[in-house]
């Protein structure tokens, strides 16, 4: 009988110890919140990162993806969960919710457009997961919904290219009224499209250019070719096409040459000048060298090392800058414009 009582007491003691060790009411786990411990790692010692990429619509995007994968790799201590959004915001929202369910340590988001992120980023914030934005910005009610952003100054890119065109016109005695320009926009609502389109419209007003039309090429070569073909059928006086990325420019060149026209800088004698952004592929570099693209505003796609550094700093309790702009150049093989000035800052026009 004594043995049975002892056994019963021992069992009660074990149950009490188990209950008290399974999470006090004031512990983060018991309260249903994530720990704020900055040294987050999984069981294998990896930092888990969920990365929602826009898609693979352009050469720039593919290089950007590879940069992220190379930097957030197992050799560097990361378990990267990659998701291709296929240019659809709903796919990205679903991916972020999956990352939250998997309790990743960090979420990296390259948003397809700026609006529509309040709800899902609030969910990430409530889960205690820092969100790092790359390339494009989001328009949210509370900027604390994301930790920081890394990317390009798209308005500065646009101003550089527009100022290059203005300087070219001055050097070649071409009046503003002689410029008949069409804009192959990027994905409407994306940060790059907003910045580059806005600065073109400002330059049109400032320099007296004729902006004939604007349509989205969705940052793809196929759509760029389609839009340029439509422009050529509708307007017979186009002499400049402003393409909001390299791939749209390649498509526009295909359409121009298929129509029997020639690309180049001799716009006084019927050539069509192609302006572009990114400059991230060998094909783009060669197009500038050969004069098929007259000017490119660089957009640097190598964000991986910057994001990896931000995560390392966060791991060590170091708060990153809210916004981190990357340095970028402007390229042209046209010898008549050596430099341009934007808001008092002078930029050398470089050969690619």
Domains present along the chain, CATH in parentheses: 47-152+302-325 (3.40.50.2300), 154-300+329-350 (3.40.50.2300)
What 92-96 contacts at long range (C-beta under 8 Å, 24+ apart), as own/partner pairs, is 92/52, 92/54, 93/117, 93/120, 95/50, 95/52, 96/50, 96/52, 96/120, 96/121, 96/123, 96/124
| 29 vs 88: CA distance, rounded Å | 35
Token representation of residue 335: 């010898």
Q: Which of 64, 76, 223 is nearest to 134 (CA)?
A: 64
Token duo for residue 251: 């498509």
At residue 43, the pLDDT reads 60
On whether the CB atoms of residues 236 and 272 are closer than 8 A, the answer is: no
Taking the complete model, does pTM exceed 0.95, yes or no? no
- Whether 330 and 351 have beta carbons less than 8 Å apart is answered as no
DSSP 320: P
Q: The tokens of 126 are what?
A: 């409530």
| pLDDT for residue 42 | 57
Contact 321, 133 (CB under 8 A): no
Beta bridge partners of 325: 151
Residues of the chain with pLDDT under 70: 1-44
By C-alpha distance, which of 62, 40, 58 is closest to 49? 40
């Amino acid at each position: 009988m004594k043995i049975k009582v002892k056994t019963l007491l021992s069992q009660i003691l074990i149950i009490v110890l188990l209950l008290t060790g399974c999470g006090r009411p004031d512990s983060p786990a018991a309260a249903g919140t994530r720990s704020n411990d900055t040294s987050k790692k999984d069981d294998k010692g990896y930092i888990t990162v969920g990365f929602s990429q826009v898609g693979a619509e352009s050469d720039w995007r593919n290089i950007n993806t590879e940069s992220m994968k190379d930097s957030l790799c197992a050799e560097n201590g990361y378990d990267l969960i990659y998701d291709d959004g296929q240019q659809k915001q709903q796919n990205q929202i679903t991916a972020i919710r999956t990352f939250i369910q998997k309790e990743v340590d960090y979420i990296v988001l390259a948003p397809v457009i700026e609006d529509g992120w309040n709800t899902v980023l609030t969910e990430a914030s409530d889960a205690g997961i820092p969100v790092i934005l790359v390339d494009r910005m989001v328009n949210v009610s509370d900027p604390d919904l994301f930790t920081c952003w890394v990317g390009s100054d798209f308005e500065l890119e646009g101003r550089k290219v527009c100022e290059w065109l203005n300087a070219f016109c001055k050097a070649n005695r071409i009046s503003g009224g002689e410029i008949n320009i069409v804009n192959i926009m990027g994905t409407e609502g994306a940060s790059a499209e907003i910045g580059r389109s806005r600065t073109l419209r400002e330059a049109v007003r400032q320099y007296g250019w004729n902006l004939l039309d604007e349509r989205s090429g969705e940052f793809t070569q196929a759509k760029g070719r389609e839009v340029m073909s439509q422009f050529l059928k509708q307007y017979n006086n186009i002499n400049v096409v402003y393409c909001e990325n390299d791939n749209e420019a390649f498509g526009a060149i295909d359409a121009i040459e298929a129509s029997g026209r020639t690309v180049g800088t001799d716009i006084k004698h019927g050539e069509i000048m192609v302006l572009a952004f990114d400059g991230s592929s060998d094909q783009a570099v060669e197009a500038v060298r050969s004069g098929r693209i007259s000017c490119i505003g660089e957009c640097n796609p190598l964000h991986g090392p910057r994001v990896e550094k931000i995560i390392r700093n966060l791991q060590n309790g170091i708060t990153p800058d809210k916004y981190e702009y990357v340095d970028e150049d402007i390229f042209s093989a046209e010898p008549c414009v050596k430099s341009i000035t934007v808001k008092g800052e002078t930029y050398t026009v470089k050969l690619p």
